[in-house]
Structure 1
Amino acid sequence: MTTIDKTAFGVLEAEERLLNGVFKGATAVPGRFGFRGDIAIEFQPKMADEKRPPEKCCEQVMAAANEGEPHFIFLAGFLLSFGYLKLLAEVLGEALSPAGKYILFCDNIDLSKKYVIDYAGATFYILPIDEATVYNETLELLYLEKNELKKMDTGGKLDAVVNAGVKFVGDRKFIKSTYDELVATMGPVRNPYENRPV
């Protein structure tokens, strides 16, 4: 059976970065390990033994890695700010690969544009998020029918997304850009807690 320590998730698990997992385990595809949840990319300073929520996260992550391979074959997630990509890439490190497919939905980029950038030895597809979830946005991007996936369990849904995701190739609507160019054009970082009842 595929175990987490034999995959690219092993380091993240050891560093306690895999949070709020709705799925974390071997999928139905032999040798594949999958995860749905959040990845902590910056921790708050620890106060004594108190466990504090992370300062920054890549949220609503859907990711997969194969046993015995050092990189993620697929990863999709949400960043509150595109600028957090630098932190995410540092955390993932050698688990990123030119062969992997990495899709990030960001809150503070132009809502009318989609980008593709090469960064940290990998290609990232960068898209705006329009009040929807990463799951819904990814299904739309990969032309997957939500109704067809409804009957599947969480692992099965993740496999369906990953199977389509690894074949994804961005079309002409994706603008070739760079990390620095996008950082220069991104908007302010929204406070996700404003307007929430206390």
Structure 2
Amino acid sequence: MTSIAETPFGSLDAEGRLLNAVLKGPTDKPGRFGYRGEIALKFAQQFADEKRPPELTTEQVIAVADAGKPTIPFLAAYLLSFEHLQALAEVLHGKLTPEGKYFAFCNNIDLLSKYRVEIGDVPFYVLPLDESTVYNELLELLNLDKTDLKKLSVGGKTDAVAEAALKFDAKFDPITFAQGVERMGPIRNRYEHRPV
């Protein structure tokens, strides 16, 4: 059975960065470890022994890693602001690879935009996310049928998404991180038009 210590998630877990996990364990594929939850990007200053929530997190993370490998081949996550992509890249520095598939769904980029941004030598597909979820958007982007996945376990669903994502090679407009920061809009309130 694959243990978290055998994967790049081990050090993130030791730092207390893996939060509110729906999946944090082996998937249905032998040798693979899956993670679904949040990753703390910036911790709040702590006073004495009080425990404070992180100042900055990335939510709806879906990621996999293989036992004995130093990098995470697939990761998708929700970022409240495009500029938080820099913090995500810093926290995961050395754990991502130029050959990996990384998807950042951002609250404050134009709803019709899709970008490819490299931070260091690591490419990120950057897409908008308004009222949906990272999981649902990935299913649509990767042409996966929700009904086909329904019978699978959480680990099995994560495997299916990861396998499809690793084959993804659509061409998005390449921009620099600085251009993305210039183009990003204000953070939208995702709940403003919902009934109470």
Return the TM-score normalized by structure 2: 0.94
Matches of 2:132 and 2:24 in 1, distance apart?
Answer: 23
Partner of 2:17: 17
Aligned to 1:182: 180
How far off is 1:194 after superposition?
7.9
SS at match of 2:93: helix
Structure 1 residue matching 2:52: 3-state secondary structure: coil
Question: How many Å apart are 1:31 and its aligned residue?
Answer: 1.1
Establish whether residue 78 from structure 1 lines up as the match of residue 78 from structure 2: yes
Report deviation, 1:120.
Answer: 2.4
Shift of 1:188: 2.1
Report the equivalent of 1:144: 144
Q: Distance in 2 between matches of 1:132 and 1:187?
A: 18
Gaps in structure 2 of 5+ consecutive residues: none
Shift of 1:71: 0.7
The Cα RMSD (Å) is 1.8
What's the secondary structure of 1:155's corresponding residue?
Answer: helix
SS of equivalent residue, structure 2 residue 59: strand
Is residue 131–residue 190 contact of structure 2 (8 Å, CA) maintained in 1? no
Deviations 1:130-165 (A, max 9, x none): 210000001001000011111111111101101111
**Alpha carbons of structure 1 residues 86 and 44: separation in structure 2 relative to 1, 3 Å:** same
CA distance in structure 1 between the aligned counterparts of 2:15 and 2:188, rounded to whole angstroms: 27
- Structure 1 unaligned blocks of 5 or more: none
- The answer (yes or no) to whether the contact 1:96–1:121 under 8 Å persists in 2 is no
In the alignment, the residues of structure 1 paired with residue 129 and residue 192 of structure 2 have an alpha-carbon distance, to the nearest angstrom, of 18
Deviation at 1:192, TM superposition (A): 6.8
CA positional deviation for 1:167:
0.7
1:157 aligns with 2:157: yes
Identity of aligned residues (%): 56
DSSP 3-state at the match of 1:93: coil
Q: Match of 2:147, as an amino acid?
A: N
Q: What is residue 51 of structure 1 aligned with on the other side?
A: 51
Q: Which amino acid aligns with 2:3?
A: T
Moved over 4 A (4+): 190-196
Whole-Å separation in 1 of the counterparts to 2:159 and 2:136: 15
Q: Contact between 2:38 and 2:57, CA under 8 Å: does it hold in 1?
A: yes
Residue 89 of structure 2 corresponds to 89
Establish whether residue 128 from structure 1 lines up as the match of residue 128 from structure 2.
yes
Q: May I ask how many residue pairs the two structures share in their alignment?
A: 195
TM-score of the pair, normalised by structure 1: 0.93
Q: Contact 1:98 / 1:123 at 8 angstroms: preserved in 2?
A: yes
Deviation at 1:2, TM superposition (A): 1.1
